[in-house]
Structure 1
Amino acid sequence: MDEEMSKIICRLLSIKAMAVVGGGFYSQFQKQLIGALKCPAEKLSRLYLFPTNATAFYKFSVSEWQKVYSEDLSEEQKKLIYSAFPKALELAGFKNPEKLYGNQLEDRGTQITFSALGQEAPLELKSAWDPDQKKRMAIKQQLDKLLNGFEIRLGGTTSIDITKAGIDKSYAISKITEIFGYSKQEMVFIGDALYEGGNDYAVKLTGVESISTSGPEETKSLLRSIINSSQP
C-alpha cells in the first residue's frame, strides 16, 4: 500500500468504520496494510481486519491487534484439498508455467490458496495470465466435483481460495452485523471479484451495495467520493 492510500484510509477512519476483507493471511495484512498505516490508535479502533476471506477476524484494542475468531481447517480437510488438486489440474488441462514465483499451493491455516504462477509472481504477469477467468473457472469446475463441503472461489488474478463450507466474504458481513450492530443498508462494499464465481460475489448476494473496482487507483477515487459525500 502506498502513502497516498494510507492517508486516504486514515481520513476515512476519522468519519467511518472500515473493514478490509482479503484473501491473504494475517501476516500479509500486517506487512502490506498495518505496517503502512500512520493512524493514531483511536482511528485504528474503527478498522476491522478479515484475512483469508473472513475465515479470521482481528480488531484493534488499546494498543494491539487481537484475534476475535479463526475458522481453521482441520488436518484431514487440508489433506483432502491438497489431494484433489493434481487431478483437478489435469482434467482442466492446466499446464505449469516454466517458472514458478514462490509456492503454488499455500496453507493459510483457515484457507488453502492455489496461485497459478506462484504466490510471489509479478503483478504484470498475473494480470495477463487469466484476464477472463476462464482458466481458473475450468479448474474450479473440477474442484467442485472432487470436493464436497468446501467453499471454492476465484480470488485476485491467478488464485483459487478454498475454505470451510459457509465461510466466504459474506461471513464478514454477518459478523459485522452481529458484533457491531451495523445493518446491511449502512454498508458499502468495494471489490474486484464481484463476478459470479469470484470471491467477492458472495457479498453481492447479501444485498449490500457492492461497487466493482479495477484496482488500487480506482479504489482511491471511490474512497475519496465516500469521504467527500460524508462531509457536512
Structure 2
Amino acid sequence: MKKVLAFDLDDTLAVTKSPVSDRMAVLLGRLLEHYDVCVITGGTFKQIRSQVIDRLNVSPQQLARFHAMPTCGTRYYRYDALGGEWELQYAEDLSEKERAHIVDVLEKTAKDMGIWCEEPAGEIIEDRISQITMSALGQQAAPEDKYAWAEKFKDVRPVYRDKVAEQLPGLEVRIGGTTSTDITRPGIDKAYGIGKLIDALDISKDEVLFFGDKLNEGGNDYPVKMMGVDSIAVDGWETTAYALDGVLGVTE
C-alpha cells in the first residue's frame, strides 16, 4: 500500500514555471486527506510555494503532510502546523569556491557550443546555494519559448551536459527542467532526497509512488526510478491529473 505520492514539478504538476491549475490544486488537496505528498524539483523552495503551496486550500494539518524538496532534493522543508512556519530539515550546500567554478564552466561551455543566449529573460545561471542551475533562455522565459528551444536543441542538451560534466569531476551534472542543466554535490539528487524522505517517515520505498516527466536515462527524475521506487512517466500535468483521478477513485 502506498503512503507517499511524490512528484516532479514542471511538466508533471504544472506548465513550466507556472502555478498548478485549479484542477490540479483540488486533486492535491484531496490527496493530502489520504497520503503524504512530496514535491521534489530542480527549482527553488520559492517556486514550490508560488507554483503549488499557495494554490492549495487545505488545513494546517494537511499541509503538515506536504514535503517540499527543492533543488533536486538538496534541501528539505516541512510545515510546522503549530508554529505556522516552514522549517528547513537539511541542506547540502556547495562551497562558494565550488559555485564560482561551476558558473564559469557553464557559461564558457555554452558560449563555446554557440548556445549562450545574448538576450535572456532573466538570469541564465542561478546560484541556488545547494545547486547551480543553467536555464538556456533565462529563468523568466515564456513557457512556449522554452518548449520550442527544448525541441530544437533536444540532441544538443545531452552533449552540453557531458561536456560540462567532463570539466566538473566529482560533481553531479544532470539535464533538469525544460531548458535547464542542474549541478549538485555527487550523489545528491532526487534519489537522495526520496531516500531521506523514506528515512524521515520510517517507511519503505515500496510505499512510495513517484510521478515524473524525465524518467529517461540522464533525466533528473531517472535516479528515483533507478533506486527501485515505483514510478509513472507522464508527459504533462494533464496526464498526471488523469492518473490521480484513478488513484483517488480507488482510495476515496
With normalisation by structure 2, the TM-score equals: 0.87
Question: In structure 1, what residue type is equivalent to 2:80?
Answer: S
Q: Quick check: 1:110 aligned with 2:92?
A: no
Question: In structure 1, what residue type is equivalent to 2:184?
Answer: T
Question: In structure 2, what residue type is equivalent to 1:21?
Answer: I
Q: Secondary structure at the match of 2:182?
A: strand
Which string of whole-angstrom CA distances, capped at 9 and with x for unpartnered residues, describes residues 20-64 of structure 1?
001111111121111111111111111111001000000111222
Match of 1:31 in 2: 50
Which string of whole-angstrom CA distances, capped at 9 and with x for unpartnered residues, describes residues 115-145 of structure 1?
0111111111111112373221111110111
Q: 1:96 Cα deviation (Å)?
A: 3.0
Task: Tell me the distance in 2 between the aligned counterparts of 1:169 and 1:67.
Answer: 17
Match of 2:68 in 1: 49
Match of 1:20 in 2: 39
Match of 1:73 in 2: 94
Q: 1:90 Cα deviation (Å)?
A: 4.1
Match of 1:176 in 2: 197
Q: Secondary structure at the match of 2:126?
A: strand
CA-atom RMSD in angstroms: 1.4
Q: Secondary structure at the match of 1:82?
A: helix
Change (3 A) 1:86 1:61: closer
Task: Tell me the distance in 2 between the aligned counterparts of 1:3 and 1:90.
Answer: 40
Q: 1:98 Cα deviation (Å)?
A: 5.4
Change (3 A) 1:100 1:135: same
Q: Secondary structure at the match of 2:166?
A: helix
Question: In structure 1, what residue type is equivalent to 2:54?
Answer: G
Q: Secondary structure at the match of 2:187?
A: coil
Written as runs of structure 1 = structure 2, the 5 A alignment for 1:1-232 is 1-62=20-81, 63-91=84-112, 93-97=113-117, 99-131=119-151, 133-231=154-252
* Poorly superposed stretches of 4+, deviation over 4 Å: none
Q: Which has the higher contact order (CA 8 A, sep 6+)?
A: 2
Q: Secondary structure at the match of 1:130?
A: helix
Contact 2:39 2:48 in 1 (8 A): no
Task: Tell me the distance in 1 between the aligned counterparts of 2:239 and 2:214.
Answer: 14
Kindly tell me the number of residue pairs found equivalent between the two proteins. Answer: 230
How high is the sequence identity, in percent, across the aligned residues? 38
Question: In structure 2, what residue type is equivalent to 1:101?
Answer: A
Q: 1:157 Cα deviation (Å)?
A: 1.1
Question: In structure 2, what residue type is equivalent to 1:2?
Answer: S
With normalisation by structure 1, the TM-score equals: 0.94
Which string of whole-angstrom CA distances, capped at 9 and with x for unpartnered residues, describes residues 198-227 of structure 1?
100100101111111111111111222211
Question: In structure 1, what residue type is equivalent to 2:34?
Answer: I
Task: Tell me the distance in 2 between the aligned counterparts of 1:11 and 1:52.
Answer: 26
Task: Tell me the distance in 2 between the aligned counterparts of 1:220 and 1:75.
Answer: 40
Which string of whole-angstrom CA distances, capped at 9 and with x for unpartnered residues, describes residues 149-185 of structure 1?
1111111211001011110000122111211112111
